[in-house]
Structure 1
Amino acid sequence: MGYASYCERGVTSMDDFLEEFFPVVYERKHKTKEDNYCKFDNQNLQLFTSSLYLAALVASFIASKVCTKHGRRLTMQAASIFFLVGVILNAAAVNIAMLIIGRILLGIGVGFANQAVPLFLSEIAPVHIRGALNILFQLDVTIGIFVANIVNYLVSNIHPWGWRLALGLAGVPATMLCLGSMVIAETPTSLIEREMLMEGLAMLKKIRGTDNVDAEYEEILHACEMARQLKQPCKNLMKRSRRPQLVIAIVMQVFQQFTGINAIMFYAPVLFQTIGFKNDASLLSAVITGIVNVLSTVVSVVLVDKVGRRFLLLEACGQMLITQVAIGGILLVNLKATNELGHGVAVWVVVLVCLFVSCFAWSWGPLGG
């Protein structure tokens, strides 16, 4: 999912791709007197980048119902099919319509996978490693982003079809998800939830490797029964006693997005080009941020149970504030409408971006959910 979501961020900085689908942006990019802050101001390009996320948002509501009614395994299979069809359309695109439709299908795949995979992991994991296993999901996403950066860097000099290769290689993780979802078994919780009690008990014994699962089975059975009795879950959430948990759940997710991580990670190659790096150098800088992202997520896995979630979240708030203000200040003072930053100043921007990404990756990224 990380690869599928982020491979196009490098593609949008490739001249061959821009020249074919967004010639206006291509012309702006190569006009030295064009305003640095307007080169990529194009509605079609914005639609290309945002359509995946909008589709994922809408699809997540449908995926929730599919997960409940048909199980986690089938939902992951559906996600992989949407991924594969979207990848084919994007890699073979000859016009903007094919690009957008492919991106929408990828977004539906992301929505379905983001709904099913974390749920699947939490339901099969033993209680004592459940938190770490869920963080590993976020770690895998960051690895996917890192691989996308590497691929974008390697194919950027393959003309004129390097961008097709970058988009098409998203089919590799999609195929792995498709094959994997055919091999894995359904979770005991999903089976019990759908009233397949004996199958759920047998599966619980299988994944735990013991017949002594009566206590856990009764706990799952009770939780499913309680959930089944809730006829109006949304109305129940609005009760006064539930409001603190509801507010925290919503606000945490909103603040996670308000940190600006998506703008930084998605537009990193474009940002680095704007401040003076050439195409290859900007993609390489994005690779560096990808490495920082992966390594810092590992830090979260190691430290979360030692120092606690609250400490990591609060520390990250201060670090992200300082780095964002520093980046904004440098660009405000040094980056005018038509100039480029000096090499030394540009390197400092990359360092500050890496510091920003690192603190997000060990805090709000894996812990915000």
Structure 2
Amino acid sequence: MAGRKIRGVANGGGLRAGLYKGRTTSYVILACIVAACGGLIFGYEVGISGGMTSMPAFLEKFNFHSRDDDSPFYYCQNEDQRLTIFTSSLYLAGIAASLLASHVTKIYGRRLSILCGGLCSLVGAVLSGAAQYLPMLILGRIMHGIGLGFGNQAVPLYLSEMAPAKIRGALNIMFQLAITMGILCANLINYGSLQIRDWGWRLSLGLAGVPASLMTMGGFFLPETPNSLIERGRYEEARRLLTKIRGTEEVDAEYEDIKEASELAVTNPFKAIFQRKNRPQLVMATMMPFFQQFTGINAIMFYAPVLFQKLGFGTDASLYSAVITGAVNVMATLVAITFVDKWGRRALFLEAGVQMFFTQVAIGLIFAIITPLSKPFAVIVVIVICIYVSSFAWSWGPLGWLIPSEIFTLETRSVGQGINVAVNFLFTFVIAQAFLAMLCHMTYGIFLFFAAWVLVMSLFVYFFLPETKSVPIEEMTSVWRRHWYWKRFVPDEDPPALPSYKRDRY
């Protein structure tokens, strides 16, 4: 038998997917909806950060300053580095927290990381809303960052492991839908808070405690995933849960796949993830979040109020315009939920790549040729930005979280997602720090800069990202084994057969 190829399950082959039984139960839908609420915090923080830069009372309270009057370009806006630190400190904390969360998630389960994320974000909301001095404000942002590090690491994993393979994409994208709803809510709250001259900014920051409370309650009441239970040796509990969430007693195939994946796991996932056989997943876990940030979306979302204000809409109308982009974001994410498991991940990526490229080029050319913008052209820019946002919202927005959460083997899944979140936060921090200076000095060239990156990432997807639609999460290695490039890294044979699988291997 030594020379025969093994039809593995946990590490590939894809031959047992048809044996997976069950249906999409209301129990698993409800659990995924509750868990996805973790995305509300992330979205709310992204939206709130940009709104703060348009609130005079907030700027005055912490002595932030802006240089609008004698700037050579109307693109130039706030250059106070302390203001960009306010925005970016959250992500520095998130980098460290996401790597710590990968350990907690593997050893203690996904639920505990979700709970830790909610509690830390709740503390951050209290500190930020009550801040009297800049250090207290920054401390609140750091606590938010720790909460996001835990939440963003655990929630996508939770969703991918709980969901049936055939609708894993749609359920996982609920996380991104929650993010977009958080952004929209933040923009609406910022618009209302601006009318409260003295303490409206406290309301905006303090209301982050609402999604944090939802996430905390979810951490208390959500069930653990079957994958995590088996990973920690709680086999009977895992089988009972799997029976409940799949709505059938016929869960042997899926249960044994998860169990085999656990038995093949190594004790040091940080070392395992850098092994040659895990090279494809590691590349995706670093390149996907890198590319996600270099679409330019967070730059637009962070500073949408600033951009629209400088386009001539005025302070109030700038936040109103940001609400429009937020609504487009939500609606387009629903498109992704509808079609990701029908058309596949690659189709959404590639279509959006074309749309994002041409809209970025269009914005750059308008700014290059028509300066200063008249009101009609400013409206055109807003429309083009909305078209751009819609394409991001059904591609790199949700799929940037979905792909890394579904491609790793069980042994490296927690660490891989931790790396994914850390890289995401790192480049979000880089963009947040550099965007204002880039916008000031590159002017319209910044949009051409991001357009070039969109072209690069679209080519990367076309050549290097295989389709993962409907593939069971513990059979994902088969996808890499069949890919024209990645198959050279993934072994052709699985590890030795396990006793419980001898009947299925030949």
After superposition, the Cα gap between the structure-2 partners of 1:35 and 1:174, relative to the gap in structure 1 and judged at 3 Å, is same
1:287 aligned residue: 323
Q: Distance in 2 between matches of 1:180 and 1:252?
A: 28
Tell me how far 1:271 sits from its aligned partner: 0.8
1:17 aligned residue: 58
After superposition, the Cα gap between the structure-2 partners of 1:260 and 1:89, relative to the gap in structure 1 and judged at 3 Å, is same
Q: Distance in 1 between matches of 2:113 and 2:129?
A: 24
TM-score norm. by structure 2 comes to 0.68
After superposition, the Cα gap between the structure-2 partners of 1:189 and 1:159, relative to the gap in structure 1 and judged at 3 Å, is same
Q: Distance in 2 between matches of 1:9 and 1:32?
A: 23
TM-score norm. by structure 1 comes to 0.92
Per-residue CA deviations over 1:157-185 (Å, capped at 9, x if unaligned) read 11111111011111111111111221112
After superposition, the Cα gap between the structure-2 partners of 1:124 and 1:286, relative to the gap in structure 1 and judged at 3 Å, is same
Q: Which residues of 2 match residues 94-133 of structure 1 at below 5 A?
A: 94-133=132-171
Tell me how far 1:210 sits from its aligned partner: 3.2
Q: Which residues of 2 match residues 158-177 of structure 1 at below 5 A?
A: 158-177=196-215
Contact 1:150 1:287 in 2 (8 A): yes
Does residue 195 in structure 1 map to residue 233 in structure 2?
yes
Tell me how far 1:237 sits from its aligned partner: 3.5
Tell me how far 1:129 sits from its aligned partner: 1.6
Q: Structure 2: which 5+ residue stretches go unaligned?
A: 1-40, 402-506
Q: Which residues of 2 match residues 299-338 of structure 1 at below 5 A?
A: 299-335=335-371
Per-residue CA deviations over 1:101-144 (Å, capped at 9, x if unaligned) read 11111011111001111111122222222121011211111111
Q: Which residues of 2 match residues 1-369 of structure 1 at below 5 A?
A: 1=41, 2-25=43-66, 28-29=67-68, 31=69, 35-227=73-265, 229=266, 231=268, 234=271, 237-239=274-276, 241-335=277-371, 341-369=373-401
Contact 1:63 1:75 in 2 (8 A): yes
Q: Distance in 1 between matches of 2:322 and 2:286?
A: 30
Q: Distance in 2 between matches of 1:128 and 1:250?
A: 26
Identity %: 54
Report SS of the residue matched to 1:223: helix
Contact 1:22 1:45 in 2 (8 A): no
- Residue 204 of structure 2 aligns with an amino acid whose one-letter code is A
- Residue 197 of structure 1 aligns with an amino acid whose one-letter code is Y
Q: Distance in 2 between matches of 1:123 and 1:141?
A: 20
Contact 1:323 1:352 in 2 (8 A): yes
After superposition, the Cα gap between the structure-2 partners of 1:157 and 1:313, relative to the gap in structure 1 and judged at 3 Å, is same
Q: Distance in 2 between matches of 1:33 and 1:127?
A: 54
After superposition, the Cα gap between the structure-2 partners of 1:266 and 1:33, relative to the gap in structure 1 and judged at 3 Å, is closer
Q: Distance in 2 between matches of 1:253 and 1:317?
A: 15
Tell me how far 1:13 sits from its aligned partner: 1.0
Report SS of the residue matched to 2:341: helix
Q: Distance in 2 between matches of 1:363 and 1:151?
A: 27
Q: Distance in 1 between matches of 2:218 and 2:72?
A: 48
Contact 2:111 2:223 in 1 (8 A): yes
RCO higher in structure (CA 8 A, sep ≥6): 2
Per-residue CA deviations over 1:263-308 (Å, capped at 9, x if unaligned) read 0111111111112121110000000000110111111122223333
Contact 2:113 2:154 in 1 (8 A): yes
Q: Structure 1: which 5+ residue stretches go unaligned?
A: none
More helix by percentage? 1
- Residue 45 of structure 2 aligns with an amino acid whose one-letter code is A
After superposition, the Cα gap between the structure-2 partners of 1:43 and 1:23, relative to the gap in structure 1 and judged at 3 Å, is closer
Contact 1:82 1:109 in 2 (8 A): yes
Report SS of the residue matched to 1:278: helix
Q: Distance in 1 between matches of 2:267 and 2:221?
A: 33
Per-residue CA deviations over 1:20-65 (Å, capped at 9, x if unaligned) read 113422xx34x47675343311110010011111211221100000
Contact 1:316 1:359 in 2 (8 A): yes
Q: Distance in 2 between matches of 1:189 and 1:244?
A: 22
Aligned residue-pair number? 360
